[in-house]
Amino acid sequence: MRIILTMRPRKNPFIPVEAEGIVPSILMNGAEITVWEGNRERRLDEVFEVAVEGEAATVEEVEVVLRGDTSRLKRIGEYMDGGRITVEGDIGMHCGNFMKAGTIEVMGNAAGWFARELCGGTVVCRGDAGHYCASGYRGEKKGMTGGRVEVFGNTGDFAAEHLAGGEVVIHGNCGDMPGVEMHGGTLSIGGDCTRPCGNMTGGTCTVLGCAYGMIPTFQAKGETNGPDGKNISAFTGDIANRGKGSLLVRRYQYLK
């Protein structure tokens, strides 16, 4: 079953649309769902052209395709528990919050809080992701606990903050403080970042580029083999908080 949702042209395309109902298991039942456009509640077909092809017996056979200008579309795939969502363009904030199973693939860029507090499933972004990608939420001690997040472009600040489980792979550069407060799981950064893993207590973070503003409370453990076979510097920390995480960086530079 393919459910194709094409965003209708809007008078003011900057007004955000909150669409926590766009989840395969909800849409496959044909339930009447509504979305909020700004402060107005709208039927799904007021905002999207809806086309349904085929049928599905289980949620695994459902694919939701989002087309058009979806860059202001928030909270899609929230609590998603199976199936597939494909976003052909950009996606707004909070895509894949709390997702448990299934796959979300974003062909364009993702805004902030991408795959926040993920528990399972796979979330892929072909472009760049915003701040707080694969992170926890304000005040909460546990962030992402399972699943896999892959970003092919760059991400903003605080990627994988409070990471507690699962796998985060960022092929490009990260902003400030990736993996801060991390206590489980693995984080791989293909490019550069600044101040990685402050206050980390567990888990593994690998930086294949340069860690600028390297945090001084990480204890150097010498060199080991990196995932690509080349040498990489290993650190343990954050010892300021009795942490036992491991941070592997190809190059690093302390603040002067």
Partner 1 sequence: MSDLLIKNAFVIDPINRINGEIMDIAVRDGRIVEDVGQGAEVIDAAGCLTLPGGIDSHTHICGTKVNFGRYMSPEDMRAGREARRGVKHSISGYSVPTTYANSYRYAIMGYTTLLEGAMAPLEARHTHEEFSATPLQDVMANTLFDGNWGVMEAIRDGDLERAAAIVGWTLSAVKGFGIKLTNPGGTEAWGYGKDVTCIRDKVPYFEVTPAEIIETMIRSCELLRLPHSVHLHCNNLGKPGNYACTIETLNLVPDLNEKRQTLYATHVQFHSYGGSDWKTFCSKAEPVADTVNNRPQIVIDMGQVMFGKTTTMTADGPMEFNLYRLHHDKWSNHDVELETGSGIIPVLYRRKNLVNSIMWAIGLELALLVKNPWQCMLTTDNPNGAPFVKYPEIIALLMSKKYRDAEFATVHPDTGSKVVLPALERELDWNEIAVMTRAGQAKALGITGIGKGHLGIGAEADIAVYPLKVDDIDPSTEYQRVIDGFAQTKWTVKRGRPVSRDGEILVHGENTTIWVDPKIRPERDISRNPRFVEMFNHWYSVRMSNYPVQDEYLKRNLRMETEAAI
Judged by the rule CB under 8 A, the positions of this chain that interact with partner 1 are 137-141, 241
Query: Is the CB of 224 or the CB of 241 nearer to partner 1?
Result: 241
Least distance to partner 1 from the beta carbon of 137, Å? 7
Cα 251 from Cα 246, distance rounded (Å): 15
Least distance to partner 1 from the beta carbon of 181, Å? 11
Helix (H) or strand (E) segment spanning residue 47: helix 44-47
Give CA angle at 135 (147, 125), nearest 5°. 60
Least distance to partner 1 from the beta carbon of 237, Å? 16
Three-state helix/strand/coil letters over 170-183: ECCCCCECCCCCCE
Query: Is the CB of 117 or the CB of 192 nearer to partner 1?
Result: 117
Amino acid at 165: G
Query: Is the CB of 98 or the CB of 252 nearer to partner 1?
Result: 98
Least distance to partner 1 from the beta carbon of 135, Å? 13
Query: Is the CB of 138 or the CB of 256 nearer to partner 1?
Result: 138
Query: Is the CB of 98 or the CB of 235 nearer to partner 1?
Result: 98
Amino acid at 91: I
Strand partners, 43: 34
Least distance to partner 1 from the beta carbon of 79, Å? 14
Helix (H) or strand (E) segment spanning residue 56: none
